[in-house]
Structure 1
Amino acid sequence: MTHELKSEALAAWYKLLSEPEIRMDAQDQYDELLKAADEMERKGLIGSDEWRNLVRKAGVAFSEAIEGVGRGT
């Protein structure tokens, strides 16, 4: 059961990473990704290494989105 919950939570996290919700700016997306990663760790679905990896990926996506705004994209 825990493996299934983990798989579902990670799938939702990666979907949000690749497809932010409508009217969600980069900051909102980043905040939601961090909240989701925190919640998965709190529930014991992921460990600290996995949590750090997700937070790192969220940070990269946020940086790229902000960088793109400055370039007029």
Structure 2
Amino acid sequence: MNDEQKKKAMDAWYKLLNEPEIRMDCEEQYDELLKAADEMERTGLINCKEWRQLVREAGAAFSKAKEGVDGGT
């Protein structure tokens, strides 16, 4: 596993988590975060424990975003 590749991939993942692309709704953001996490695990940049943590963080962000949309805030 290349530490530099892992750092770049994780940085990109957290950037997408914290700064979704313009016109990207919360479902699209969630899907892209999961795809990125899957790809990092598939290529061996992260292990299954790290993958689960990213999925949990993506899920938490999705839930928070949906509450804001559905809650009328």
* Aligned-partner Cα distance in 2 for 1:53–1:31: 15
Q: Which amino acid aligns with 2:40?
A: M
Q: TM-score, normalised by structure 1?
A: 0.97
C-alpha root-mean-square deviation of aligned residues, in Å? Answer: 1.0
For residue 72 of structure 1, report the CA deviation from its aligned partner: 1.4
Determine the C-alpha separation between the residues in 2 that align with 1:70 and 1:33: 21
TM-score computed with the length of structure 2 as normaliser? 0.97
Structure 1 residue aligned with 2:57: 57
| 1:8-30 Cα distance to aligned partner (Å, 9 max, x none) | 00000000000000000000000
User: Identity of counterpart residues, as a percentage?
Assistant: 70
Corresponding residue number in structure 1 for 2:26: 26
After the TM superposition, which segments of 4 or more aligned residues of structure 1 sit over 2 Å from their partners?
Answer: none
